[in-house]
């Protein structure tokens, strides 16, 4: 026989025992149910109601049958327990009425809003025929301002377009003889078109007009060239003097950087007599110039353009920039001094070529930690250096009293003289210093 169930189960689920309360009964026992006829839970037919009489018989009836078009759709209940009314649950007539009502309300609202925005007297959105008031600007430009300089110099600066076959390049130029149409520019701007059949050089002026140009002469040693256009009466640039330029002077650069004609930038003279070696890629330019350094922004296309002072006088031809590899301006631009430009340009217009003084040595920059110089790598036979007794491995430290601290400074110091000049060369040989005299040759 199985053991009797626990007393807790008997109290909870067993039949009532007189004198013993059930599980969780109140101390006085459960009150008896009042079953009265008027009570809501006791009706006359309670004995026949299967929901009230568990012993009433149950039976299955026939399934409900609905007409196909009258079957109710599913009832959708939202999260709050409310029934959702959908458009498809409505009759066609009622749904059409709702849609038409919405359309009418929207049309009436839009029309009223449109009407009010144009007829409301207090705050209209549109006011036809409105004219804004203007005042006379009180602009005062001092003499020598950048705008005044640009206005005066711009007509003398041109854009240069070079086309060789399918390739093209752009640069700038400065009119130095307006009556005869002579324009100075950089050699590396137009050298690619020299002697090439079908090549075209065109000068574009500040008024937008253009003219074909021919090469008058080129000087790769100074990176200068002169072209000529058949358009007399051009505005000529005023030439300044290199000796009047001082570090810190304000300057303005005008040209066509990146093909943007008539671009004006300003800055100051950062340094003078800066030796800069030029090697134009794709050209025969291989020059060393004693440059005017400026922080006026200069970019590719400024080459051959004007660098002018506060009076609008030309003090240099923009030629090169120092760059970190991106090809853009970093505030280090270099221009050929105007005295050099004047000297070379006159020679090119007169003879088509320019003559320079040369010593006849190849050198590289060296230093011993205390003194810099130019180490002679080789001496050209029969040159001025050979006649003066200069030997390989000599270190040149001065030319006519001008200190030489690099190979670039040696080229600049020699080029400052004329062919045939006799100069004193100070050099170091075998640890001792000596001086020799050399008569410079033309090149």
User: pLDDT tens per residue, the chain (443 residues)?
Assistant: 788 888 777 777 777 666 665 555 666 666 655 555 555 555 666 556 666 655 556 666 777 776 655 555 555 566 556 666 565 566 777 778 888 898 999 988 888 877 776 665 555 667 788 777 777 666 556 666 899 999 999 999 999 999 998 888 899 999 999 999 999 999 999 998 988 888 999 999 999 999 999 999 999 999 999 999 999 889 999 999 999 999 999 999 999 998 899 999 999 999 999 999 987 666 788 889 999 999 999 988 899 999 999 999 999 999 998 877 666 677 789 999 999 999 999 999 999 999 999 999 999 999 988 889 999 999 999 999 999 999 999 999 999 999 999 999 999 999 999 999 999 999 999 889 999 999 999 98
Both tokens of residue 289?
């110039």
Examine the residue annotation and report whether 219 is marked as an active-site residue of this protein: no
- Which of 172, 188, 222, 407 is labelled catalytic? 188
- Which of 303, 329, 406, 407 is labelled catalytic? 303
Q: In a 10 Å sphere around its CB, with 0-12 CB exposed, 13-18 middle and 19+ buried, how is residue 401 labelled?
A: exposed
| CATH class of residue range 144-354 | mainly beta
Q: Is the separation of the CB atoms in 191 and 218 below 8 Å?
A: yes
Examine the residue annotation and report whether 242 is marked as an active-site residue of this protein: no
Q: Which residue matches tokens 């109140």? A: 26
| CATH class of residue range 357-442 | mainly beta
- Which of 223, 295, 309, 441 is labelled catalytic? 223
The span from the CA of 91 to the CA of 70, in Å, is: 11
Instruction: Supply the pLDDT for residue 23.
Output: 57
The span from the CA of 48 to the CA of 61, in Å, is: 17
Q: Is the separation of the CB atoms in 180 and 228 below 8 Å?
A: yes
Examine the residue annotation and report whether 356 is marked as an active-site residue of this protein: no
The contacts found for 9-13 with CB under 8 angstroms, 24 or more apart, are: none
Q: Is the separation of the CB atoms in 287 and 412 below 8 Å?
A: no
Same fold: 144-354 with 357-442: no
What is the domain partition of the chain in residue ranges?
Answer: 144-354, 357-442
Both tokens of residue 413?
């110091």
């Amino acid at each position: 026989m199985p053991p009797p169930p626990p007393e807790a189960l008997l109290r909870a689920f067993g039949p009532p025992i007189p004198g013993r309360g059930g599980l969780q009964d109140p101390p006085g026992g459960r009150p008896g149910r009042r079953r009265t006829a008027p009570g809501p839970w006791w009706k006359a037919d309670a004995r026949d109601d299967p929901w009230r009489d568990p012993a009433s018989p149950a039976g299955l009836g026939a399934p409900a049958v609905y007409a196909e078009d009258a079957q109710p759709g599913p009832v959708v209940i939202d999260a709050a327990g409310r029934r959702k009314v959908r458009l498809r649950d409505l009759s066609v007539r009622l749904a059409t009425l709702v849609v038409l009502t919405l359309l009418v309300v929207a049309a009436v609202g839009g029309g009223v809003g449109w009407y009010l925005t144009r007829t409301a007297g207090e705050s209209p959105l549109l006011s036809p025929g409105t004219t804004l008031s203007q005042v006379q600007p009180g602009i005062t430009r001092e003499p020598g301002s950048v705008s005044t300089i640009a206005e005066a110099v711009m007509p003398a600066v041109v854009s240069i377009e070079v086309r060789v076959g399918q390739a093209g390049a752009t640069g700038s130029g400065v009119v130095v003889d307006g009556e005869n149409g002579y324009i100075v520019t950089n050699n590396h701007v137009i050298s690619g078109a020299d002697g090439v059949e079908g090549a075209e050089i065109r000068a574009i002026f500040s008024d937008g007009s253009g003219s074909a140009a021919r090469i008058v002469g080129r000087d790769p040693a100074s990176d200068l060239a002169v072209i000529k256009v058949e358009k007399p009466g051009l505005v000529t640039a005023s030439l300044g003097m290199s000796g009047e330029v001082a570090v810190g002077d304000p300057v303005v650069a005008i040209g066509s950087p990146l093909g943007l004609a008539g671009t004006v930038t300003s800055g100051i003279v950062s340094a003078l007599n800066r030796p800069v070696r030029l090697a134009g890629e794709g050209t025969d330019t291989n020059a060393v110039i004693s440059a005017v350094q400026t922080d006026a922004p200069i970019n590719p296309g400024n080459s051959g353009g004007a660098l002018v002072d506060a009076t609008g006088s030309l003090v240099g031809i923009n030629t090169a920039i120092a760059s970190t590899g991106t090809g853009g301006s970093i505030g280090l631009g270099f221009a050929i001094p105007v005295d050099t430009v004047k000297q070379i340009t006159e020679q090119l217009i007169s003879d088509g070529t320019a003559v320079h003084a040369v010593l006849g040595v190849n050198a590289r920059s060296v230093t011993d930690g205390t003194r810099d110089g130019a180490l002679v790598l080789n001496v050209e036979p029969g040159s001025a250096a050979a006649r003066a007794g200069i030997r390989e491995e000599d270190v040149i430290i001065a030319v006519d009293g001008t200190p030489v601290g690099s190979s670039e400074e040696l080229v600049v110091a020699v080029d400052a003289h004329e062919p045939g000049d006799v100069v004193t060369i100070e050099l170091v040989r075998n640890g001792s210093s000596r001086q020799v005299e050399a008569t410079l040759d033309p090149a």
